[in-house]
Amino acid sequence: MQNFSLGVRQACRALSLSRTVYHYRPDALRDEPVISALQEAAERYPRYGFSKIFQILRRQGHHWNHKRVHRVYCLLKLNFRRKVKQRLPVRNPAPLAVPEALNQSWSIDFMHDALTCVRRFRTFNVVDDFNREALAIENDRNLPAQRVIRVLDRIAVNRGYPLKLRMDNGPEFISLALAEWAETRAVTLEFIKPGKPTQNAFIERFTGLIEQRFWIFTCSER
């Protein structure tokens, strides 16, 4: 245009370029809400892909087009798999305190042990932090995340769902299945810091009592 003194219309016609494209100026602030929502969801669910994060945004009430969300998702480079070891997000649990009523906070944890025949087993323990009531002790050789969810649903039939679940960072607890279960039932998952079992002291004390009594029972049988 500068060299041949052409107008915008003539230059766009010569280059087969739409004048709309020529005059388009992207709005940098237009995608700010999408960016903040995507970053918040990706930080809370670091193992989720685009489809699951998009479903979370829809459940939160956002009605952005999937193509727009995917464009921003790629601009943030959230679609690239990290080659390094996956690290847990920062855990800032609330201070350990006794709840004021039932079903406000449950603590869950696993316990490992072995029988006299050297056959190992696991127990999944659930305790209400308000009165230290043992809600469930599930025993089996293998207790995956789906089994954990089934036990929690079984407790909720007669007792209802808790407001919060306090747990460590075990593979069954950071799984996608448990995160989806908590999302649909409005249950907050509160993870303690790695290597800080004192932040989950209620269930740790309960597990210690079980181990002590099991050891006494085993010694008496021998």
Task: Tell me the whole-structure pTM to 2 decimals.
Answer: 0.63
**Which one of 43-57, 72-86, 148-162 scores highest in mean pLDDT?**
148-162
Distance (Å) of CA 81 to CA 15, 93, 129: 39, 28, 38
**15: pLDDT strictly greater than 90:** no
| Distance (Å, whole) CA 32 – CA 28 | 8
| pLDDT in the model for residue 218 | 58
Question: Is 42 within 8 Å of 48 (Cβ atoms)?
Answer: yes
Confidence at 175, pLDDT banded by 50, 70, 90: confident
**161: pLDDT strictly greater than 90:** yes
| pLDDT in the model for residue 210 | 73
Q: What is the mean pLDDT of residues 131-152?
A: 92
Mean pLDDT of the chain: 85
